[in-house]
Amino acid sequence: MSNTVNWKDLVLPHILSLQAYSSARDEFSGDAKVFLDANENPFDEEQHNWNRYPDPLQKDIKNQLSEIKGIASENIFLGNGSDEAIDLLFRVFCKAEESNVITCPPTYGMYKVSAAIHNVENIEISLRDDFQLDVEAILNAANEESKMLFICSPNNPTGNSLRKDSIQNLLEKFKGVVVIDEAYIDFSAQKSWMHQLKIYPNLVVLQTLSKAWGLASARLGMAFANQDLIKILNKVKPPYNISGPSQKLVSDSLKNKEGFNKQIKLILAERDKLNQELQDVPGIKKVYASDANFILVKLNEAKSIYQKLIEKGIVVRDRSNVKLCDDCLRITVGTELENKKLISALAKISS
């Protein structure tokens, strides 16, 4: 079953009719060699083209990603991190002081911040105690002004994947845009929802190169959606949102799929080992199973252990103030040596 909502009706009218900025290089076609159109400095001493404006639509990277992900380039938007894609989605769909969005805490903090920036109400429907979606409560809370629903799977900070039947149910029944954030999908055995774009035109899938691909510094986030929505996102984004050096770095890195696969394997093996070892540390009450590259643990006196770890030079993420995560720390899977240091520090602290 598909969804009867027409996603285009959700786009703000001024965005639908927006005339995009047209850059100097968009306005010619042909095989030019002399570029006197963009007021750039003509000297290119290092031969990297750093003196030139970068490709506004990042065609090379999109072609590479298209092959890696098995999806058409036309379905890919690239942003300055996923955070830019989230911001743009608010600009496209949400009207300040009128629209609302639905998020499901505990989850990634940026949805809420972005809602606040855009002066859009954030309706929070907590995950259930098992960290799964409360589908009925979400559908009951949704109203005519509910433009987007944010689902994070595998979820940050809990680490679990959200059930497929719940997500499918929401994709079919929620009368707005469903944004599925798959920042950690490469660490999970789950399949991406991006292959369902044809069935659900109101679906947007977010991924990032910041985690599994090891390129947090490059700031490269991806949004996958139907072609027309991608065109709208491209129209609204700043023209040169991905810098030339970033595009070069990303393009080179994407060629090394073998290195990527190897690192994922290592991280997953370390995750399983860390999960085992954490269970044996006295004072740890619960180690949650993870489909991501981090592990949520429940301890006695999380705050004090967090401080003591810092005194030993180890920083983890204190999530103890977060709903459903009381007394929890979120620990990123590091190198073998880093994980050893963590375990021995925890053992010392609790002895």
Ligand X SMILES: *Cc1c(COP(=O)(O)O)cnc(C)c1O
User: Could you list the residues that contact ligand X (CB under 6 A)?
Assistant: 81-83, 108, 152, 156, 181, 183, 208, 210-211, 216, 221
Q: Which is nearer to ligand X, 171 or 183 (CB)?
A: 183
Q: What is the distance between the alpha carbons of residues 177 and 138, in angstroms, rounded to a whole number?
A: 13
Nearest distance, CB of residue 26 and ligand X, angstroms: 26
Nearest distance, CB of residue 83 and ligand X, angstroms: 4
Nearest distance, CB of residue 216 and ligand X, angstroms: 6
Q: Are strands 328-332 and 294-299 parallel, antiparallel or unpaired?
A: antiparallel
Q: Which is nearer to ligand X, 87 or 277 (CB)?
A: 87
Nearest distance, CB of residue 17 and ligand X, angstroms: 29
Q: Which is nearer to ligand X, 56 or 154 (CB)?
A: 154
β-strand partners of 284:
299
- How far is CA 258 from its chain centroid? 23
Q: E-assigned strands of the chain?
A: 76-79, 100-103, 121-124, 146-152, 177-181, 203-208, 221-224, 284-287, 294-299, 317-318, 328-332
Q: Which is nearer to ligand X, 155 or 320 (CB)?
A: 155
Nearest distance, CB of residue 214 and ligand X, angstroms: 12
Q: What is the distance between the alpha carbons of residues 138 and 261, in angstroms, rounded to a whole number?
A: 37
Residues 6+ apart with CB under 8 A from 226: 7, 75, 197, 201, 203
Q: Which is nearer to ligand X, 83 or 186 (CB)?
A: 83
Nearest distance, CB of residue 171 and ligand X, angstroms: 19
333 — alpha (psi -120 to 50), left (phi > 0) or beta? beta
Chain residue at closest Cβ approach to ligand X: 81
Q: What is the distance between the alpha carbons of residues 337 and 40, in angstroms, rounded to a whole number?
A: 47
Q: Which is nearer to ligand X, 3 or 80 (CB)?
A: 80
